[in-house]
Structure 1
Amino acid sequence: MSPIASPSKGVRKESGVARLLGSGSAGIAELAVFHPVDTIAKRLMSNTGKINGVGQLNAVIFKEHAGATLPRKFFSLFPGLGYAAGYKVLQRIYKYGGQPFVRDYLGQHHNEKFEAAFGKGSGKAIMHATAGSLIGIGEIVLLPLDVLKIKRQTNPEAFRGRGLFKIVADEGFGLYRGWQWTAARNAPGSFALFGGSAFAKEALGLSDYNAATWTQNFIASIAGASASLIVSAPLDVIKTRIQNKNFENPESGFRIISNMMKNEGITSFFKGLTPKLLMTGPKLVFSFWLAQTLIPIFDKKLM
């Protein structure tokens, strides 16, 4: 199947199969490499106290395994792997594979409006960012898997011996608790991710983003991932704290904000940002770069 030219100038339309294979492969590879890193970041964001010294940091990251051997500590960073596999692979397929479909729709119906408002190059980049933002909001459909993954990583006591189906039956739509904050976090975060990448490719002189080399995709992914993490950091902290509470003791986002301001100060909204940039940043760069690189490759193979 040959690629079809998109109505948006300079944007080539890949096949649906290529998008599925490229984004799915990126999700699987990201999970295999970075799940321990994600656990560390989530535990740091969930910590409500100040960390003084290596001993306390060790306790926050490894919890009851803080005094265990190094291999035991390492394997303690893999809780919720089953939920993470379901969530991460579906999320990457939905996000990286779905954004091009929304982008194609905007290009077909609203390309002239974007170009008139922002100029040719910038208009295309903003269109990519807008498509990313819209697909990011819709990501809340996968929220229950994310909730279960985070609880396994940060608050395993919340399960109290219950399995997946028992939890779903007991909690129902309670698993969507905090969906508003997730949507509020995803909208600007995904806008910055796809927009930052698109603007970087414009700066690199690319008119066809699919023609980017591995190196160009890597540079663009760094720009997009860094922008996304910084923009979404405060809402990500709130979202994580909503999701890591016990099922029977939920706490609203506004209550969490109030307590954070009162007890921890304004800087608490950026807790975990440094390790996220150093650890989660490369994870996002890796998966985004891999998806952007693999989708055109799969598309050519399927031609």
Structure 2
Amino acid sequence: MAPSIPEQGRVPIASSAKNAEKESTAARLLGAGSAGITELIVFHPVDTIAKRLMSNQGKVSSASQLNSVIFRNTASEPVVRRFFSLFPGLGYAAAYKVLQRVYKYGGQPFVRDYLATNHGDTFDRTFGKGNGKFMMHATAGSLIGIGEIVLLPLDVLKIKRQTNPEAFRGRGVLRIVGDEGFSLYRGWGWTAARNAPGSFALFGGSAAAKQYLFKLEDYNKASWYQNFVASIAGSSASLIVSAPLDVVKTRIQNRNFEVKETGTKIVANMLRYEGPTAFFKGLVPKLLMTGPKLTFSFWLAQTLIPAFNKMM
């Protein structure tokens, strides 16, 4: 009989896509919800700045112009007033951000479970073990990202409050919903087109870092540091991949309600009047400001979900 290989000398076997991590439903919801709430408290002002920069169609060539773009009517007010002007639409942001994070971070594992159970062998055969697993995580993220359009009306209201408050004209939420109806889903196709590759890169980049950088077979065993590095990889990839479509989506959503300009028309006007670089407006602020926000919330969710699971 051949001698057994000592455990310390064993070479790790690439993890199969069928061996997906398992967490309780409560752990997934609590971890994702906690990440969403914490992100909202810390980063809402950053999100407002990024949205206003993306919505700006002029060139910013001085600090005073940048100040006017970011703070708008309060640009000449004291620092405290200017700071609080970065919290418009906080109610919409709270509803949208928490629901979105619960849906995305908490929902992706359910899609991943389904793919692992029903199509795990297919991912392994197509991409190979290890490759199949991180591709499955990425695919589950892409599918959950497309379904995120269900929450689009809350996102529309949040962005309009941040960038175009005049669009409300004294109307409350219920009145707006009653008046506008399904027009609140304007730009849903562009949103889905942006979310699919963005979420694929987010979950796929994170899983790839755990798979290849840290050689983890069970992603839930990642340390807080490993989750943090993986989150940086996933969030950076997501923001870069989704940047052009994100600019188009934001411009569709920040128009006055009666403006019916299509995404195709916006793309044509951007190319005609602003040039191709317009599709990457706000990318540097997003990487520097929104990037840490996405990294923070994704890292927190990936760390808290396994932690809550151990407690239950």
Give TM-score scaled by structure 1 length: 0.97
Give the structure 1 partner of residue 80 of structure 2: 71
> Does the CA contact (< 8 Å) of 1:229 and 1:276 recur in 2?
yes
Distance across 2 between alignment mates of 1:126 and 1:120? 10
1:241 aligned to 218, 231, 251, which one? Answer: 251
Does the aligned pair in 1 maintain the 2:18–2:117 contact within 8 Å? Answer: no
Count of residue pairs brought into register by the alignment: 297
What is the aligned partner in structure 1 of residue 21 from structure 2? 12
Q: Which residue of 2 aligns with 1:99?
A: 108
Answer whether contact 1:8 1:104 (CA < 8 A) is retained: no
Give secondary structure in 2 for the equivalent of 1:14: coil
1:205-248, CA deviations, whole angstroms, 9 ceiling, x for partnerless residues?
11000000000000000000000000000000000000000001
Q: How does 1:221-240 map to 2 (within 5 A)?
A: 221-240=231-250
Larger Rg: 1 or 2?
A: 2
- Given candidates 268, 283, 291, the residue that maps to 2:278 is 268
Matched, 1:293 2:298: no
How do 1:143-162 residues align onto structure 2 when only pairs under 5 Å count? 143-162=152-171
Alignment of 1:81-96 (within 5 A): 81-96=90-105
Tell whether the 8 Å contact from 1:234 to 1:270 is kept in structure 2 after alignment: yes
| Structure 1 SS opposite 2:255 | coil
SS in 2 for 1:112: helix
Structure 2 CA distance for aligned equivalents of residues 8 and 240 of structure 1: 36
Residue 59 (str. 1) matches residue 68 (str. 2): yes
| Distance in 2 separating the partners of 1:252 and 1:48 | 17
Could you list the structure 1 runs, at least 4 aligned residues long, displaced by more than 3 angstroms after superposition.
7-10
CA–CA distance in structure 2, aligned partners of residues 92 and 167 of structure 1? 25
Task: Please give the root-mean-square deviation of Cα atoms over the aligned residues, in Å.
Answer: 1.0
SS in 1 for 2:60: coil
Which residue pairs with 2:287 in the alignment? 277
Q: Which residue of 1 aligns with 2:217?
A: 207
2: CA distance between counterparts of 1:73 and 1:34?
Answer: 16
Return the alpha-carbon distance in structure 2 between the equivalents of residues 29 and 242 of structure 1.
28
The residue that corresponds to 2:142 in the other structure is 133
In structure 2, runs of 5+ residues without a counterpart are: 1-15
Q: Which residue of 2 aligns with 1:254?
A: 264
CA contact (8 A) 1:62 1:73 kept: yes
SS of residue in 1 equivalent to 2:107: helix
How far does the alpha carbon of each residue in 1:2-41 deviate from its partner, in whole angstroms, 9 at most, with x for none? xxxxx94442210000000000000000000000000000
Structure 1 equivalent of residue 123 of structure 2 = 114
Taking structure 2 as the reference length, the TM-score comes to 0.94
Counterpart of 2:268, as a letter, is: S
Distance in 2 of aligned mates of 1:68 and 1:171:
34
CA displacement, residues 132-163 of structure 1 (integer Å, 9 cap, x when unaligned): 00000000000000000000000000000000
Who is 1:24 aligned against?
A: 33
Secondary structure of the structure 2 residue equivalent to 1:207: coil
Q: Does the 8 A contact of 1:10 with 1:209 survive in 2?
A: no
Supply the AA of the counterpart residue of 2:126: A
Q: Which residue of the partner structure matches residue 197 of structure 1?
A: 206
